[in-house]
Structure formats: structure tokens, C-alpha cells
A and B are shown apart, each in its own frame.
Chain A
Amino acid sequence: MSTDRIKEIEVKIAPEKEITVTEEQANHIQETRRILKKFGRKRGNLISILQMVQGRLGYLPREVMLEIAEFLGIPGIDVYSVVTFYNQFRLNPPGKHSVRVCLGTACHMKGGYITLDAWKRRLGIDRGETTPDREFDLDTVACVGCCTMAPVTVVDDKPQGQVEPTKVDGILLSFELEKEKEGEQNQ
């Protein structure tokens, strides 16, 4: 990380105390406060807190990181540094469906990179991004330990084995059909 970027973040993350918040941000803060009640004000709890908040909100927006920093009595930059260090935490909102392409050794050698290409092509986004309609977010994972089912893609927390480009299309089609069905029911 370059020094320029660190400076820029420091400015962003330590704003004046009274900031106007949108309704969404206010909700985020409310949720976070509710979760913080379960924890002691100990630095060692930071990662567990972040995991639980992300589990609820799907990501960790700025106002939430500041809230947690204040709770633990540490600078906002310390929270930010932990959030950006670990692969699990995300700074942008997730899609409705999460797609995690496994790039462990076995998956890679059996064509995981080809599967990733197929997902990128079909969803029109790169790894770490969310589709504009917030339906899908795409990312990679180092290894989910299902090496025997390679290449694996974890779709909505469910590991699926032997996901090759044709199966990518199949999975997307099944989501489409599901959506159509829901649409019909709503009518």
C-alpha cells in the first residue's frame, strides 16, 4: 500500500464528530450497536466483532468501522487496517447471491482459472465486484478443502463440485428460472 493512499484514508476515517448520516447509515450504526452489546471492550474481540457485523450487514461500511473503533477505544485506522488485511472482510455491499470460485491447487490444476473466466464473462464483472443490479458478487477463495471435487465454486455458501464453464451457465440458468417463478407468483 502506498503512502499516498494511507494519508487519504486517514483523512477520510477521522472526520469531525458530528456528521450527517443517511437513513441507511443510521440503520447500520443501530445494528452495530446492538451487536457490540455482546462484547467486552477488548482489542482481542475486534475480529470477532467485525465477523459478526459483516454477517449481519454483508459488508463493513465506514460508519460501522468508526463505531467499532470508538467502542474499543482505538483509532479508526486500526480497524481499517484489520479489515483490509484479512481477505474475508469486504468494503462494498454484497450481491444477493455470492459466487466464490475456489483457486486451491487442485482446483487450479483442474481448470479453476477457466471457471473463473467463465463467471467473469457471464456476470460481466471482475473478482471482488458486484453486478450493478446487486444480484451477484464474484470473488475467489484460497481453498475450501473440497479438493476432491475440483474445480469447486461455492455458490451461496454451498460448495458445488466439478463446476466447468457449462455448469456455470447451468447454475445461472437455475437462478433465472427461480426468479421467473418468483415473478409469476408475485403477479
Chain B
Amino acid sequence: MKAVELSTVASTFQEIKNRAESGWQELWHSGKPVILVGTGTCGRAAGALDVLQAIRDEIGRQNLDCHLVEVGCMGHCYAEPIVIIAKPGYPPIAYGHVNPVIAERLIKDFILGDNPCLEFVLGALEKNELVPSFSEFPRAKYEKKVILKNCGYIDPEQIDHYIANGGYQAVAKVLEMSPEEVIDEVKKSGLRGMGGAGFPTGQKWEICRHARGRPKYVVCNGDEGDPGAFMDRTILESDPHSVLEGMVIAAYAVGARRGYIYVRAEYPLAVHRVRVALRQARELKLLGKNILGSDFSFDIELFQGSGAFVCGEETALIASLEGKPGIPYHRPPYPAVNGLYGKPTLINNVKTLAYLRSIIENGAGWFTGLGTEGRGGTAVFALAGKIVNTGLAEVPMGTTLRQLIFDVGSGIPDAKRFKAVQIGGPSGGCLPESALDLPIDFDSLRDAGAMMGSGGMVVLDEDDCMVEIARYFLEFTQRESCGLCTFCRLGTKQMLEALDEITKGKGKIEDIDMLTELAEDISAGSLCSLGKTAPNPVLSTLRYFRDEYEAHIKEGRCPALMCQELIAYYIIPERCERSCDACVGTCTVEAISTNKKRIKVIDQEKCVKCGTCLKACPPQYNAVVRLSPPDQVPASE
């Protein structure tokens, strides 16, 4: 009986796979040019939809026979919108910063003509004689793509693209294993929860498998609330099936029949693409009753979050799924034993689930071999802030922060000096230059006072005030606190008030001790990790940048020239080019006037300190400066 069932799974899947592969072959080897346009949210924000329309129009006008495919994001967000053109006879070439005009030229000159428009090239996808390929970029030495492999190369709304690239193979394989074997493999791989806490995934599965109570649920936590993190969004937008496949594997292992995928409402495109993916997976019987003809059934429901950071906390997420306010409850019992509607519930992060297919396919040994020095696997980071190559990077565990920021991210733009890197969002901390040689993994970052968190990484340069960033995060957690625990509700408020005063130059030196004391109390007196980790940004900045706090308090000076109350904009008369009106024209509140000598003067009363004049002043004059404290502006002004 068992043998018959096994072959059903294999043969059903083979049939699906054959069809998908022939479609994929047809796409790439039909002799027609293939155009890929990245239309993830980052691409759209940069104007990818206009580019797509321009290409579509031009194809229509020229009556061209080619394939136009919408893909997700390849991680090179700094160069969005990105268009990839694969023309027979040429390597596939990616073009960056494409606008509708460039798009039209690419069609006319490259597809119709034979000029590959080298001036717009970002890189080629394979090694060739003509243009440098991504594999020759300095960052390629450090990057190792596992869960980002498909992102930007396949159409996320076509399940066949995913299957042709090895997708759902792991489901077919798992259905022929016993659940215990699956759990064992995941345990051996050493995979840890990528949502931030780093709990061993296999162990969680085992607990859930052995938990009494039926039915069991599998929940995908896609409530990526950390400001500055966007890898879950990218994966859901660019390769949603990899997450669904992970959920099916997890459900088989723990014995669940029902799952929920919880996606933030702020990610409408991810919501849309997951919805499409669910429908397509059901159509091919990769979800639903008797998956691939086996006796295993599992289906997934999409649930949209409603904008509450605390819902990233698993117990709050469960409350939210039950239709209640997202207020966490005490653990243990953990959700794996007592979760949604009181039943055993396995909750895994988007990235954790996305790793599973590769682990099942290639084995645990392959996965542990990826990292360095006993740290297995890879980690995905979202690089943002003052860094040249903003975007996503997937690197083996154990890569150092310096390699990640300076080699993969190409360092700090505008020849500014690196100051700190903020890792792990509101729960994480700011690490200074001296911590840059730390190898990245869960434990080393925690020891340094930061946190792996979900992998958001915001790079800060000399223009960023460390007190202000601590204040910013506290303002965030304070607003997002659900209000259950007194320390979190009132303590963060008091800390925020103190920081507000400091950034306005009204702080007292005793405030620093009070902040430290309150931080300890909040950590100890809060139920969930929102409260437990809320003081981290303050503690880490106090640890590494205490001098900045002191400058604010003692001198009323913001060393980074950022805190608005502590700076003033001033036009140096000697540098002002009298015939230029750039600042006057751009000032949004008409605070700049011209005096009798034709020199521009800022009315400090009217000035709102938006900095537009500083950006407008041509670099050869460089006449607008910021002064701190503000009383440094000469009295005659």
C-alpha cells in the first residue's frame, strides 16, 4: 500500500515539474529576447512601473516578438529600477537606474539594433568577455545566496518559474520521509529562528510534534515590523512559494492541517503576491486536500496584520489571529504547546521557512558547511542608511561587520566617516567602529550589546546624532508598547521624556544615571521582548557614545549637528556668491533674503531648519553651514 502511494507522489510531481521545465526552456531558449523588469516595492518606489509601461509601449510600437517578465528584487536596491535583458548571442545584462527614456533606448538600440548600451550597464548575470559580471564584483566574494537565490530572476506570480528552478521538490521528497526524519534533518542543520531570537528550529518542531492537542497549526510570522528591515518583504514579494513550501514541510513534520500566513498590511504587494501564490499552489495540488496525491492535507489562509509592531511577538500575533488586540501573554506554555485557540502552534519567521527547501534538498551537512567556524548557514541583512549599496545581502554566518559594510555595501557615501551601525531595529543596538571586526552571529552580536534581530542594518555616519537615534527608537517602542506591563508602558515614557529634554539641550547630568537605572527595570519587568529589549538602543549608545550625551547636556551642543533645537543654519558672508539665488529660491518658508551687499541672510525666526538651503548651495561656494549651539550665529544676523 505504502509503495503505491510513494510512486503517486513522485509521478504526480514529475508531471508538474516536466511541464514547468518545458515552459522555462521555452522562455529562455526560444531564440526571442527576454526582458525582466524588477517590480518589487523598492523598484516601484523608484519608478519601475513607468519603466515597465514604457517598455510595453515600445514593444507595441515596434511590433517586437519578445518575452516581458515582471520579477522581484535582486537585492541591488540602490540601482532600482533594474531591467535585465537577455538577447540571444549576448549574456543576460542587468541595467540600473533605468527610466522610461533609457528603457526606450534599450529596446531600440539593443534589442532592435546591436548596441548593448554599455553606459547603463550594472553587470552581467554570467561571466563573459563583454561586460563585468556580478560574480566579479568585490561583494561576490562574500555573498552566498540561498534564500535570495530566486529573487529577481523568476516571476513571483508564476508558480511554474519556481518549480522549474527546483521548487516544491522538497515537498515531494518530504512526503516520502517520516515526520521524525524531517525533524531530525532540520535539527542536524542547526537552523535557528531567523526572526531574531535564534531559537533552534528543529527543537521547536519536536516540541510541537509531541504536544498533545488537535488540531495543530503552522503560522508564518511575516509581521516584519522593525523599521529598517525589509528582507521578509522582499522574499514574500519576490519568491513567495519558497515560504509556502517551507510551511508545507513544517506542517508535515509537526502534523498540522491548517496554517496561517501573517503579513503586515503595510506590504500590499506582498499580500497580493502571496494571495496569487496560494491560489496557484492549490490549483496544482501542492496545497489543500491530499497534497500530490498523498494522504497528507494542509491548507494555508492569508491573514493581514493591521499595523501593530508588537504583533511580531508570537503570543501577540496569536491574539491578533484570534481577532483580539495584539497583547502578548505569559510564556511558558509556549505556543508550540499552547498557541492559537489553545492548540499547539508552530510559529516560524518568513526567512526560517524559506531556508527549509534548500536544507531538505541538499541535506543538513551542506547547510552547516556554509558558515564559518562552526556557525552554520547564512544570514540576510537589509542594508540601509548611509551606505553606498543599499539593498539586501545574504552572507555566510561569521562574516564580519566590516566585510559586510565596506566590501558588500561599498562603504559610506560622500566621503563621510563611518560612525556606527544600528543592528536589529528597536530591540538592537548601535555598534561603533571598534566592533566592526566582530563575526556576525546570534551570540557575538548579543554580547556586544546589539542583536541579530531580524537583520535590519542601518549605517550611520558622522552627521547622525547618537542621542537622537536612541530617542527615535524609544519614541517608536513607547508608541508601540501595548500597555500591558507597567514598566514598559510608563518606564519607556519616562525615558523618552528624559531623552527629549537632552536632545533639546535641557537635560541634566543625573539623567544619564536615571536612564541606565530605568533601562534595567524595564528589561526585568516586561513580559515580552518588546519591553525587554526596548532600552537596548539607549544602553548601547550610552556604552559607546557617552561623550555625545555629555555634549548635549553640558554644552547644549549636538556634535553631529542633527538635533534641530541645538543647531542654526548660517550663511557665511565671505563665501556667499552674491549673484547666486539658489538658496533664496528653494527656501520653503521664505526665510532667506538678500541684504544691501547682495549677500544672503537667513532670518533665524522664520527658519524651520529643514536644510534645503544647505543642499541647494552649490558645492563650489559651500556657504551654508550648521552651527551648534545656535548662539554661535553672529549677533548682527
**A residues bordering B, Cβ < 8 Å?**
1, 42-48, 50-51, 78, 81-82, 85-89, 103-111, 114, 117-118, 121, 141-150, 152, 157-161, 164-166, 168-169
* In contact, B612 and A164 (Cβ under 8 angstroms): yes
Q: What 1/0 mask marks residues of chain B from 478 to 494 whose CB sits below 8 Å from any chain A CB?
A: 00101100000000000
Report chain A residues within 8 Å CB of B612.
164-166
Interface size of B as a range = 35 or more
14 new A-B contacts, CB < 8 A, other than A47-B303, A89-B306, A168-B588, are A48-B303, A50-B306, A106-B384, A107-B227, A109-B469, A110-B385, A114-B610, A117-B610, A141-B266, A142-B266, A143-B225, A148-B384, A161-B45, A164-B612
Report Cα–Cα, A85/B320, bound state, in Å.
10
Contact of B224 among A45, A103, A107, A145 (CB under 8 A): A145
B386 within 8 A of A: yes
Contact of A105 among B78, B228, B267 (CB under 8 A): B228
Report chain A residues within 8 Å CB of B308.
85-87
B321 within 8 A of A: yes
28 CB-based A-B contacts, threshold 8 Å: A42-B323, A47-B320, A47-B323, A48-B303, A51-B265, A51-B304, A51-B306, A85-B308, A86-B306, A86-B307, A88-B306, A88-B307, A105-B228, A105-B422, A107-B227, A108-B227, A114-B609, A142-B266, A142-B476, A145-B229, A146-B45, A146-B230, A148-B77, A148-B390, A149-B42, A164-B610, A165-B588, A166-B586
B44 within 8 A of A: yes
Task: List the one stretch of B57-65, B151-159, B456-464 in contact with chain A.
Answer: B456-464
Report Cα–Cα, A106/B473, bound state, in Å.
12
Report Cα–Cα, A103/B390, bound state, in Å.
17
Report Cα–Cα, A165/B480, bound state, in Å.
27
B41 within 8 A of A: yes
Report chain A residues within 8 Å CB of B41.
144-146, 159
* In contact, B45 and A149 (Cβ under 8 angstroms): yes
* In contact, B46 and A149 (Cβ under 8 angstroms): yes
* In contact, A85 and B325 (Cβ under 8 angstroms): yes
Identify the closest chain A residue to B483 (Cβ): A1
Report Cα–Cα, A109/B77, bound state, in Å.
18
**B230, B267, B469, most chain A CB atoms within 10 A:** B230
B391 within 8 A of A: yes
Report chain A residues within 8 Å CB of B322.
43-44
Identify the closest chain A residue to B341 (Cβ): A44
List residues 255-305 of chain B with CB under 8 A from any CB of chain A.
265-268, 303-305
Given contacts A81-B325, A145-B267, contact A165 B46 (CB under 8 A): no
List residues 202-242 of chain B with CB under 8 A from any CB of chain A.
224-230, 233-234
* In contact, B610 and A118 (Cβ under 8 angstroms): yes
The 7 closest A-B pairs by CB, nearest first: A104-B227, A87-B307, A86-B306, A147-B384, A46-B323, A145-B230, A105-B228
Report chain A residues within 8 Å CB of B78.
148
* In contact, A111 and B611 (Cβ under 8 angstroms): yes
**B residues bordering A, Cβ < 8 Å?**
41-42, 44-46, 77-78, 80, 224-230, 233-234, 265-268, 303-309, 320-327, 382, 384-386, 390-391, 422, 425, 456, 458, 460, 464, 469, 472-473, 476, 480, 482-483, 586, 588-589, 608-612, 615
* In contact, A147 and B304 (Cβ under 8 angstroms): no
Report Cα–Cα, A147/B305, bound state, in Å.
20
Report chain A residues within 8 Å CB of B225.
142-143
Report chain A residues within 8 Å CB of B391.
148
Contact of A117 among B42, B230, B324, B608 (CB under 8 A): B608
Identify the closest chain A residue to B612 (Cβ): A165
Report Cα–Cα, A48/B275, bound state, in Å.
14
Given contacts A48-B303, A118-B588, A143-B226, contact A105 B266 (CB under 8 A): no
* In contact, B266 and A146 (Cβ under 8 angstroms): no
* In contact, B323 and A143 (Cβ under 8 angstroms): no
* In contact, B326 and A86 (Cβ under 8 angstroms): yes
Given contacts A143-B225, A146-B45, A147-B384, contact A109 B460 (CB under 8 A): yes
Q: How far is the CB of A64 from chain B (nearest CB, A)?
A: 16
Report chain B residues within 8 Å CB of A117.
608, 610
Report chain B residues within 8 Å CB of A164.
610, 612, 615
Report chain A residues within 8 Å CB of B382.
147
Given contacts A86-B307, A165-B588, A165-B610, contact A106 B45 (CB under 8 A): no
* In contact, A142 and B268 (Cβ under 8 angstroms): no
Report Cα–Cα, A168/B326, bound state, in Å.
34
* In contact, A82 and B265 (Cβ under 8 angstroms): no
* In contact, B45 and A82 (Cβ under 8 angstroms): no
Report chain B residues within 8 Å CB of A118.
588, 610
Report Cα–Cα, A164/B248, bound state, in Å.
45
Report Cα–Cα, A166/B469, bound state, in Å.
25
* In contact, A146 and B325 (Cβ under 8 angstroms): no
Q: How far is the CB of A50 from chain B (nearest CB, A)?
A: 8
**B228, B305, B586, most chain A CB atoms within 10 A:** B228
Contact of A144 among B226, B266, B327, B611 (CB under 8 A): B266
Identify the closest chain B residue to A85 (Cβ): B325
* In contact, B385 and A47 (Cβ under 8 angstroms): no
Report chain A residues within 8 Å CB of B589.
121
Report Cα–Cα, A82/B480, bound state, in Å.
14
Identify the closest chain A residue to B311 (Cβ): A86
Contact of A104 among B45, B77, B228, B305 (CB under 8 A): B228
Report Cα–Cα, A1/B481, bound state, in Å.
12
* In contact, A160 and B45 (Cβ under 8 angstroms): yes
Report chain A residues within 8 Å CB of B483.
1
Report Cα–Cα, A4/B229, bound state, in Å.
38
Given contacts A89-B306, A142-B309, A145-B267, contact A108 B42 (CB under 8 A): no
* In contact, B266 and A147 (Cβ under 8 angstroms): no
* In contact, A105 and B307 (Cβ under 8 angstroms): no
Q: How far is the CB of A169 from chain B (nearest CB, A)?
A: 7
* In contact, A147 and B230 (Cβ under 8 angstroms): yes
Q: How far is the CB of A141 from chain B (nearest CB, A)?
A: 6
Report chain A residues within 8 Å CB of B473.
105
Report chain B residues within 8 Å CB of A87.
306-308
Report Cα–Cα, A150/B631, bound state, in Å.
31
Contact of B323 among A82, A121, A144, A152 (CB under 8 A): A82
Report Cα–Cα, A149/B233, bound state, in Å.
15
* In contact, A43 and B323 (Cβ under 8 angstroms): yes
Report chain B residues within 8 Å CB of A111.
610-611
Report chain A residues within 8 Å CB of B266.
141-145
Identify the closest chain A residue to B310 (Cβ): A85
Report chain A residues within 8 Å CB of B77.
148-149
